[in-house]
Structure 1
Amino acid sequence: MAKTIPTQIRIDSDTKKLSSELFARLGLDMSTAVNMFLSQCVLRNGLPFTVSMPEYNQETLEAMVEAKRIAHDPDVKGYTNMHDLMSALDA
């Protein structure tokens, strides 16, 4: 087996947390997952997935802006269970 060397990378803290949780569910640690990714890059002589910019129509973009506004508006009522939501809809 090839000699391993320590490597340091900078990762957004939320991305690291979410990816670490995902890898743990898959039985992997961060180091193994990164090694798998890099091995696939070498094997394929490029990224092992397609990289592209999503193309959204205007209606979808407007809905995304509205959803973000609603999510951050403290005056918008939120519900933590289906019973409360259904009661509010029936009212």
Structure 2
Amino acid sequence: MADKKQAAEIFDSLGLNLSTAINIFIKKSIAEGGLPFEVKDPFYSEVNQAELERRFKKVAHNQNLHSHHLLDNGDQ
């Protein structure tokens, strides 16, 4: 509900109500034959993929690996 309120405030500042803004989005999507903007997942960015590749190589070559204790082993 917070997103809807925030969007309504933005559209109101542009002189639009939420219904009109949604209709504009729908008409633009039809004209574009899809979304009128690019949808990206930051996970697949070049920078992130390069970092993942670097880490995979380190694991494959056992470089700078640290063990982590994620669970309490009962030593309280």
Measured against the shorter chain, the TM-score band is 0.5 to 0.7
Q: Name which structure has the greater RCO, CA cutoff 8 Å, separation 6+.
A: 2
Displacement over 6 Å in runs of 4+: none
Q: Which ranges in structure 1 are unaligned for 5 or more consecutive residues? A: 1-12, 59-91
Number of residue pairs matched by the alignment: 46
Q: How far apart, in 2, do the equivalents of 1:43 and 1:33 lie?
A: 15
Max radius of gyration: which structure? 2
Q: Which ranges in structure 2 are unaligned for 5 or more consecutive residues? A: 52-76
- 1:43 offset after TM fit, Å? 0.4
Cα RMSD over matched residues? 1.5
Q: How far apart, in 1, do the equivalents of 2:2 and 2:41 lie?
A: 22
- 1:39 offset after TM fit, Å? 0.1
- 1:18 offset after TM fit, Å? 0.4
Pick one of 19, 25, 30 that aligns with 1:42: 30
Query: Identity of aligned pairs, percent?
Result: 41
1:28 partner letter = L
Give the alignment of 1:1-91 within 5 angstroms.
13-54=1-42, 55=45, 57=48
Q: Where does residue 78 of structure 1 map in the other structure?
A: none
